[in-house]
Amino acid sequence: KTNRPLGTIDLHGRLDQTRLSEPLEDSRFHYGFNITFLKTILHYWRHDYDWKKQVEELNKYPHFKTSIEGLDVHFVHVKPTQPASQCHIRPLLMVHGWPGSFFEFYKIIPLLTTPRQGRDNRMEAFEVICPSIPGYGFSDAPQKRGFNTANAARVFYKLMTRLGHSKFYVQGGDWGAVIGQNIAQMVPGHVYGLHLNFFNNQQGIRPWLSLLLGQYLPSLFGLTRIDVQRLFPFMPNFRTMFCESGYMHIQATKPDTAALKVSYKSSSWLYLCRKFTLEDLITNVMIYWITNSITSSMRMYKETLGKGLNVPGIDVPVTVPTGLTVFPNEIVYAPKAWLKSHFHNIVSYSYQPRGGHFAAFEEPVLLAEDVWKFVRKAEAVPSFH
Protein backbone atom coordinates (compact mmCIF):
# COMPACT_ATOMS: atom_id res chain seq x y z
CA LYS A 1 0.00 0.00 0.00
CA THR A 2 0.98 3.59 -0.53
CA ASN A 3 0.71 5.19 2.91
CA ARG A 4 3.06 8.17 2.84
CA PRO A 5 3.58 11.15 0.53
CA LEU A 6 6.69 9.89 -1.24
CA GLY A 7 8.64 12.57 -3.06
CA THR A 8 6.12 15.35 -2.46
CA ILE A 9 8.66 17.78 -0.98
CA ASP A 10 10.90 17.43 -4.02
CA LEU A 11 7.82 17.63 -6.25
CA HIS A 12 6.63 20.89 -4.69
CA GLY A 13 10.06 22.41 -5.22
CA ARG A 14 10.04 21.46 -8.86
CA LEU A 15 6.52 22.80 -9.37
CA ASP A 16 7.51 26.10 -7.74
CA GLN A 17 10.53 26.43 -10.04
CA THR A 18 8.73 25.55 -13.26
CA ARG A 19 9.42 28.02 -16.08
CA LEU A 20 6.92 28.11 -18.93
CA SER A 21 7.00 29.91 -22.25
CA GLU A 22 4.09 32.03 -23.37
CA PRO A 23 1.59 30.28 -25.66
CA LEU A 24 0.61 31.45 -29.11
CA GLU A 25 -2.78 33.07 -29.39
CA ASP A 26 -5.58 30.56 -29.92
CA SER A 27 -3.07 27.72 -30.21
CA ARG A 28 -5.24 25.36 -28.14
CA PHE A 29 -3.55 21.90 -28.30
CA HIS A 30 -2.38 22.21 -31.92
CA TYR A 31 1.26 22.82 -30.90
CA GLY A 32 1.30 20.25 -28.12
CA PHE A 33 0.27 20.70 -24.53
CA ASN A 34 -1.55 23.99 -24.11
CA ILE A 35 0.56 26.25 -21.87
CA THR A 36 -2.40 28.14 -20.43
CA PHE A 37 -4.10 24.90 -19.44
CA LEU A 38 -0.80 23.62 -18.06
CA LYS A 39 -0.57 26.65 -15.77
CA THR A 40 -4.00 25.77 -14.40
CA ILE A 41 -2.88 22.20 -13.76
CA LEU A 42 0.36 23.26 -12.06
CA HIS A 43 -1.41 25.73 -9.79
CA TYR A 44 -3.98 23.14 -8.75
CA TRP A 45 -1.30 20.47 -8.30
CA ARG A 46 0.84 22.70 -6.10
CA HIS A 47 -1.81 24.43 -3.99
CA ASP A 48 -5.05 22.44 -4.02
CA TYR A 49 -4.28 18.82 -4.78
CA ASP A 50 -4.30 16.64 -1.64
CA TRP A 51 -2.06 13.61 -2.14
CA LYS A 52 -2.76 12.21 1.34
CA LYS A 53 -6.46 12.21 0.55
CA GLN A 54 -5.80 10.43 -2.72
CA VAL A 55 -3.66 7.83 -0.96
CA GLU A 56 -6.75 6.97 1.09
CA GLU A 57 -8.71 6.69 -2.15
CA LEU A 58 -6.07 4.41 -3.68
CA ASN A 59 -6.10 2.20 -0.59
CA LYS A 60 -9.85 1.64 -0.54
CA TYR A 61 -9.30 -1.57 -2.53
CA PRO A 62 -6.93 -4.39 -1.51
CA HIS A 63 -3.44 -4.23 -3.03
CA PHE A 64 -1.03 -7.14 -3.38
CA LYS A 65 2.33 -8.06 -4.84
CA THR A 66 3.63 -11.39 -6.00
CA SER A 67 6.90 -12.43 -7.62
CA ILE A 68 6.54 -13.79 -11.17
CA GLU A 69 9.57 -14.52 -13.35
CA GLY A 70 11.75 -12.50 -10.98
CA LEU A 71 9.48 -9.42 -11.06
CA ASP A 72 7.34 -8.15 -8.21
CA VAL A 73 3.96 -7.71 -9.87
CA HIS A 74 1.47 -5.38 -8.21
CA PHE A 75 -2.28 -5.90 -8.54
CA VAL A 76 -5.58 -4.75 -7.09
CA HIS A 77 -7.90 -7.64 -6.24
CA VAL A 78 -11.57 -6.98 -5.45
CA LYS A 79 -14.03 -9.77 -4.68
CA PRO A 80 -17.83 -9.48 -4.58
CA THR A 81 -19.54 -9.00 -1.25
CA GLN A 82 -21.53 -12.21 -1.66
CA PRO A 83 -19.77 -15.59 -1.44
CA ALA A 84 -19.65 -18.01 -4.35
CA SER A 85 -22.29 -20.19 -2.68
CA GLN A 86 -24.81 -17.38 -3.10
CA CYS A 87 -23.57 -15.80 -6.32
CA HIS A 88 -22.18 -16.85 -9.69
CA ILE A 89 -18.75 -15.18 -9.67
CA ARG A 90 -16.75 -14.70 -12.85
CA PRO A 91 -13.01 -13.87 -12.66
CA LEU A 92 -12.16 -10.80 -14.75
CA LEU A 93 -8.65 -9.57 -15.55
CA MET A 94 -8.65 -5.85 -16.43
CA VAL A 95 -5.47 -4.45 -17.98
CA HIS A 96 -4.61 -0.76 -18.35
CA GLY A 97 -2.48 0.99 -20.97
CA TRP A 98 -0.15 3.99 -21.27
CA PRO A 99 -0.15 6.45 -19.61
CA GLY A 100 -2.73 4.75 -17.45
CA SER A 101 -2.61 2.62 -14.34
CA PHE A 102 -4.72 0.38 -12.16
CA PHE A 103 -6.38 3.61 -10.99
CA GLU A 104 -8.23 3.76 -14.33
CA PHE A 105 -10.56 1.04 -13.07
CA TYR A 106 -11.50 2.49 -9.68
CA LYS A 107 -14.84 3.84 -10.91
CA ILE A 108 -15.83 0.71 -12.78
CA ILE A 109 -14.84 -1.86 -10.14
CA PRO A 110 -17.97 -1.46 -7.96
CA LEU A 111 -20.17 -1.64 -11.07
CA LEU A 112 -18.76 -5.09 -11.77
CA THR A 113 -18.27 -6.53 -8.29
CA THR A 114 -21.71 -5.54 -6.96
CA PRO A 115 -23.97 -8.57 -7.50
CA ARG A 116 -26.94 -8.18 -9.80
CA GLN A 117 -29.70 -10.53 -10.82
CA GLY A 118 -28.89 -12.70 -13.79
CA ARG A 119 -30.40 -15.66 -15.59
CA ASP A 120 -32.67 -17.96 -13.60
CA ASN A 121 -32.92 -15.24 -10.91
CA ARG A 122 -29.42 -16.13 -9.71
CA MET A 123 -27.15 -13.34 -8.49
CA GLU A 124 -24.05 -12.68 -10.59
CA ALA A 125 -20.87 -10.64 -10.11
CA PHE A 126 -17.26 -10.33 -11.21
CA GLU A 127 -14.12 -10.88 -9.20
CA VAL A 128 -11.86 -8.16 -10.58
CA ILE A 129 -8.07 -8.32 -10.80
CA CYS A 130 -6.30 -5.15 -12.03
CA PRO A 131 -2.50 -5.62 -12.29
CA SER A 132 0.11 -2.99 -13.03
CA ILE A 133 2.01 -3.84 -16.20
CA PRO A 134 5.68 -4.57 -15.35
CA GLY A 135 7.53 -1.25 -15.60
CA TYR A 136 4.39 0.69 -14.69
CA GLY A 137 3.56 2.04 -11.24
CA PHE A 138 4.16 -0.40 -8.42
CA SER A 139 5.22 -3.38 -10.58
CA ASP A 140 8.94 -3.95 -11.03
CA ALA A 141 10.48 -2.80 -14.29
CA PRO A 142 12.15 -5.47 -16.45
CA GLN A 143 15.93 -5.05 -16.44
CA LYS A 144 16.58 -6.92 -19.67
CA ARG A 145 15.67 -5.98 -23.22
CA GLY A 146 12.76 -7.54 -25.05
CA PHE A 147 9.89 -7.36 -22.54
CA ASN A 148 6.89 -6.76 -24.80
CA THR A 149 3.13 -7.33 -24.65
CA ALA A 150 3.55 -11.07 -25.12
CA ASN A 151 5.78 -11.23 -22.04
CA ALA A 152 3.25 -9.19 -20.05
CA ALA A 153 0.51 -11.56 -21.26
CA ARG A 154 2.47 -14.56 -20.03
CA VAL A 155 3.08 -12.90 -16.63
CA PHE A 156 -0.61 -12.03 -16.20
CA TYR A 157 -1.71 -15.52 -17.19
CA LYS A 158 0.57 -16.88 -14.47
CA LEU A 159 -0.89 -14.33 -12.06
CA MET A 160 -4.44 -15.51 -12.75
CA THR A 161 -3.55 -19.17 -12.36
CA ARG A 162 -1.73 -18.37 -9.12
CA LEU A 163 -4.94 -16.78 -7.86
CA GLY A 164 -6.77 -20.02 -8.58
CA HIS A 165 -8.37 -19.08 -11.90
CA SER A 166 -7.57 -21.61 -14.60
CA LYS A 167 -10.09 -19.85 -16.87
CA PHE A 168 -11.14 -16.20 -16.83
CA TYR A 169 -12.43 -13.20 -18.77
CA VAL A 170 -10.11 -10.40 -19.99
CA GLN A 171 -10.91 -6.73 -20.58
CA GLY A 172 -8.60 -4.02 -21.84
CA GLY A 173 -7.92 -0.85 -23.79
CA ASP A 174 -4.70 0.63 -25.18
CA TRP A 175 -1.80 -1.73 -24.29
CA GLY A 176 -4.27 -3.66 -22.17
CA ALA A 177 -6.16 -4.54 -25.35
CA VAL A 178 -3.01 -5.85 -27.01
CA ILE A 179 -1.97 -7.79 -23.90
CA GLY A 180 -5.48 -9.21 -23.65
CA GLN A 181 -5.36 -10.35 -27.26
CA ASN A 182 -1.97 -11.95 -26.64
CA ILE A 183 -3.36 -13.91 -23.70
CA ALA A 184 -6.26 -15.12 -25.86
CA GLN A 185 -3.82 -16.06 -28.63
CA MET A 186 -1.39 -17.86 -26.33
CA VAL A 187 -3.78 -19.76 -24.06
CA PRO A 188 -7.25 -19.68 -25.68
CA GLY A 189 -8.40 -22.66 -23.65
CA HIS A 190 -8.00 -20.62 -20.47
CA VAL A 191 -9.98 -17.55 -21.61
CA TYR A 192 -13.77 -17.50 -21.35
CA GLY A 193 -13.95 -14.34 -23.39
CA LEU A 194 -12.16 -11.15 -24.41
CA HIS A 195 -13.70 -7.67 -24.19
CA LEU A 196 -11.90 -4.71 -25.81
CA ASN A 197 -12.56 -0.99 -26.05
CA PHE A 198 -9.55 -0.43 -28.31
CA PHE A 199 -8.79 -2.47 -31.42
CA ASN A 200 -7.51 -2.13 -34.94
CA ASN A 201 -6.67 -4.43 -37.80
CA GLN A 202 -5.50 -3.10 -41.14
CA GLN A 203 -3.57 -6.17 -42.23
CA GLY A 204 -4.03 -7.45 -45.73
CA ILE A 205 -5.14 -5.55 -48.81
CA ARG A 206 -8.88 -5.44 -48.13
CA PRO A 207 -8.85 -2.68 -45.46
CA TRP A 208 -6.61 -0.49 -47.61
CA LEU A 209 -8.81 -1.00 -50.67
CA SER A 210 -11.85 -0.14 -48.60
CA LEU A 211 -10.18 3.14 -47.57
CA LEU A 212 -9.67 3.97 -51.24
CA LEU A 213 -13.03 2.84 -52.63
CA GLY A 214 -15.29 2.16 -49.67
CA GLN A 215 -16.83 5.62 -49.70
CA TYR A 216 -18.23 4.91 -53.16
CA LEU A 217 -18.79 1.13 -52.96
CA PRO A 218 -19.38 0.43 -49.24
CA SER A 219 -21.36 -2.77 -49.71
CA LEU A 220 -18.53 -4.28 -51.75
CA PHE A 221 -16.33 -4.11 -48.64
CA GLY A 222 -19.00 -4.90 -46.08
CA LEU A 223 -19.05 -1.36 -44.69
CA THR A 224 -22.14 -0.09 -42.91
CA ARG A 225 -23.55 3.43 -42.98
CA ILE A 226 -21.89 4.11 -39.62
CA ASP A 227 -18.58 2.81 -40.96
CA VAL A 228 -18.72 5.25 -43.85
CA GLN A 229 -19.56 8.15 -41.54
CA ARG A 230 -16.62 7.37 -39.26
CA LEU A 231 -14.03 6.53 -41.89
CA PHE A 232 -14.60 9.25 -44.45
CA PRO A 233 -13.38 11.67 -45.56
CA PHE A 234 -10.24 9.68 -44.95
CA MET A 235 -7.52 12.36 -45.07
CA PRO A 236 -8.83 14.56 -42.20
CA ASN A 237 -9.19 11.45 -40.02
CA PHE A 238 -5.71 10.28 -40.96
CA ARG A 239 -4.29 13.73 -40.23
CA THR A 240 -5.86 13.73 -36.77
CA MET A 241 -4.49 10.28 -35.99
CA PHE A 242 -1.04 11.25 -37.28
CA CYS A 243 -0.93 14.45 -35.22
CA GLU A 244 -2.10 12.74 -32.04
CA SER A 245 0.36 9.84 -32.26
CA GLY A 246 3.67 11.72 -32.17
CA TYR A 247 4.40 10.44 -28.67
CA MET A 248 4.15 6.87 -29.97
CA HIS A 249 6.77 7.39 -32.68
CA ILE A 250 9.22 8.83 -30.13
CA GLN A 251 8.66 6.08 -27.58
CA ALA A 252 8.88 3.35 -30.21
CA THR A 253 12.37 4.55 -31.12
CA LYS A 254 14.03 6.46 -28.24
CA PRO A 255 11.91 5.98 -25.09
CA ASP A 256 14.75 6.71 -22.65
CA THR A 257 15.31 10.19 -24.10
CA ALA A 258 11.65 11.20 -23.97
CA ALA A 259 10.72 13.86 -21.45
CA LEU A 260 7.90 13.57 -18.95
CA LYS A 261 4.90 13.57 -21.28
CA VAL A 262 2.54 11.39 -19.29
CA SER A 263 0.03 14.20 -18.72
CA TYR A 264 -0.01 15.25 -22.37
CA LYS A 265 -1.68 12.16 -23.82
CA SER A 266 -4.10 11.86 -20.91
CA SER A 267 -5.27 15.44 -20.91
CA SER A 268 -5.20 16.16 -24.64
CA TRP A 269 -7.35 13.16 -25.53
CA LEU A 270 -9.62 13.48 -22.54
CA TYR A 271 -9.87 17.23 -22.94
CA LEU A 272 -11.98 16.52 -26.00
CA CYS A 273 -14.74 14.92 -23.96
CA ARG A 274 -14.32 16.92 -20.74
CA LYS A 275 -14.66 13.85 -18.53
CA PHE A 276 -11.26 13.85 -16.83
CA THR A 277 -11.00 15.83 -13.60
CA LEU A 278 -7.71 17.46 -12.62
CA GLU A 279 -7.69 15.36 -9.46
CA ASP A 280 -7.96 12.14 -11.49
CA LEU A 281 -5.34 13.29 -13.95
CA ILE A 282 -2.82 14.24 -11.29
CA THR A 283 -3.39 11.11 -9.23
CA ASN A 284 -2.62 9.03 -12.28
CA VAL A 285 0.53 11.09 -12.91
CA MET A 286 1.51 10.79 -9.24
CA ILE A 287 1.54 6.99 -9.51
CA TYR A 288 4.27 7.36 -12.13
CA TRP A 289 6.04 10.10 -10.18
CA ILE A 290 6.38 8.38 -6.83
CA THR A 291 7.48 5.10 -8.45
CA ASN A 292 9.83 6.79 -10.97
CA SER A 293 8.36 4.55 -13.65
CA ILE A 294 7.66 6.87 -16.57
CA THR A 295 10.79 5.88 -18.53
CA SER A 296 10.34 2.14 -17.98
CA SER A 297 6.69 2.40 -18.98
CA MET A 298 7.59 4.03 -22.31
CA ARG A 299 9.85 1.14 -23.27
CA MET A 300 6.84 -1.05 -24.06
CA TYR A 301 6.48 0.91 -27.32
CA LYS A 302 9.97 0.13 -28.55
CA GLU A 303 9.88 -3.49 -27.38
CA THR A 304 6.52 -4.17 -29.06
CA LEU A 305 6.10 -1.75 -31.96
CA GLY A 306 9.60 -2.45 -33.15
CA LYS A 307 8.37 -5.96 -33.98
CA GLY A 308 4.85 -5.05 -35.06
CA LEU A 309 1.71 -5.47 -32.97
CA ASN A 310 1.55 -9.16 -33.84
CA VAL A 311 4.47 -10.33 -31.73
CA PRO A 312 6.48 -13.17 -33.37
CA GLY A 313 5.27 -16.56 -32.22
CA ILE A 314 1.65 -15.55 -31.62
CA ASP A 315 0.65 -14.19 -35.01
CA VAL A 316 -2.56 -16.20 -34.94
CA PRO A 317 -6.24 -15.25 -34.93
CA VAL A 318 -8.21 -14.69 -31.74
CA THR A 319 -10.71 -17.55 -31.50
CA VAL A 320 -12.24 -16.96 -28.05
CA PRO A 321 -15.63 -15.19 -27.74
CA THR A 322 -14.89 -11.50 -28.27
CA GLY A 323 -16.78 -8.32 -27.44
CA LEU A 324 -15.77 -5.06 -29.13
CA THR A 325 -17.16 -1.66 -28.20
CA VAL A 326 -16.56 1.64 -29.99
CA PHE A 327 -16.33 4.95 -28.15
CA PRO A 328 -16.84 7.97 -30.45
CA ASN A 329 -13.77 9.95 -29.34
CA GLU A 330 -11.39 7.02 -29.79
CA ILE A 331 -8.60 8.05 -32.16
CA VAL A 332 -8.66 4.77 -34.12
CA TYR A 333 -11.74 3.25 -35.71
CA ALA A 334 -11.96 -0.22 -37.22
CA PRO A 335 -15.15 -1.50 -38.89
CA LYS A 336 -16.35 -4.95 -37.97
CA ALA A 337 -15.72 -6.02 -41.56
CA TRP A 338 -11.99 -5.41 -41.08
CA LEU A 339 -11.83 -7.38 -37.85
CA LYS A 340 -13.41 -10.69 -38.81
CA SER A 341 -10.16 -12.02 -40.26
CA HIS A 342 -8.43 -11.55 -36.90
CA PHE A 343 -11.25 -12.04 -34.40
CA HIS A 344 -12.97 -15.25 -35.47
CA ASN A 345 -15.69 -15.27 -32.81
CA ILE A 346 -17.13 -11.75 -32.46
CA VAL A 347 -20.09 -12.08 -30.12
CA SER A 348 -20.85 -8.35 -29.85
CA TYR A 349 -19.80 -5.18 -31.65
CA SER A 350 -21.40 -2.10 -30.12
CA TYR A 351 -21.34 1.69 -30.38
CA GLN A 352 -21.29 3.96 -27.35
CA PRO A 353 -22.95 7.41 -27.33
CA ARG A 354 -20.01 9.22 -25.73
CA GLY A 355 -16.50 8.70 -24.36
CA GLY A 356 -13.01 8.18 -25.67
CA HIS A 357 -9.73 6.33 -25.28
CA PHE A 358 -9.77 6.03 -21.47
CA ALA A 359 -13.21 4.43 -21.35
CA ALA A 360 -13.09 3.04 -17.81
CA PHE A 361 -12.13 6.49 -16.49
CA GLU A 362 -14.47 8.51 -18.66
CA GLU A 363 -17.58 6.39 -18.95
CA PRO A 364 -17.44 3.57 -16.39
CA VAL A 365 -21.19 2.96 -16.48
CA LEU A 366 -21.27 2.53 -20.26
CA LEU A 367 -18.23 0.25 -20.28
CA ALA A 368 -19.49 -1.85 -17.37
CA GLU A 369 -22.89 -2.35 -19.01
CA ASP A 370 -21.20 -3.45 -22.23
CA VAL A 371 -19.06 -5.97 -20.34
CA TRP A 372 -22.18 -7.40 -18.68
CA LYS A 373 -24.04 -7.62 -22.00
CA PHE A 374 -21.08 -9.25 -23.74
CA VAL A 375 -20.64 -11.91 -21.08
CA ARG A 376 -24.31 -12.82 -21.11
CA LYS A 377 -24.31 -13.03 -24.92
CA ALA A 378 -21.17 -15.18 -24.88
CA GLU A 379 -22.55 -17.56 -22.28
CA ALA A 380 -25.90 -17.85 -24.09
CA VAL A 381 -24.20 -19.47 -27.08
CA PRO A 382 -24.81 -23.26 -26.93
CA SER A 383 -21.15 -24.04 -27.62
CA PHE A 384 -19.93 -21.88 -24.71
CA HIS A 385 -18.03 -23.83 -22.08
Q: Which of the residues are catalytic?
A: 174, 301, 357
The DSSP letter of residue 171 is E
Cβ–Cβ < 8 Å for 266, 281: yes
Residues 6+ apart with CB under 8 A from 176: 94, 95, 96, 97, 100, 133, 198
- Burial code (b: 16+ CB inside 10 Å, e: under 16) for 217-237 equals ebeebebeeebbebbbeeeeb
Distance CA 138, CA 226 (A): 41
Residue 308 CB-density burial (10 A; 0-12 exposed, 13-18 middle, 19+ buried): exposed
Cβ–Cβ < 8 Å for 300, 148: yes
Distance CA 360, CA 364 (A): 5
Distance CA 353, CA 225 (A): 16
Distance CA 128, CA 116 (A): 15
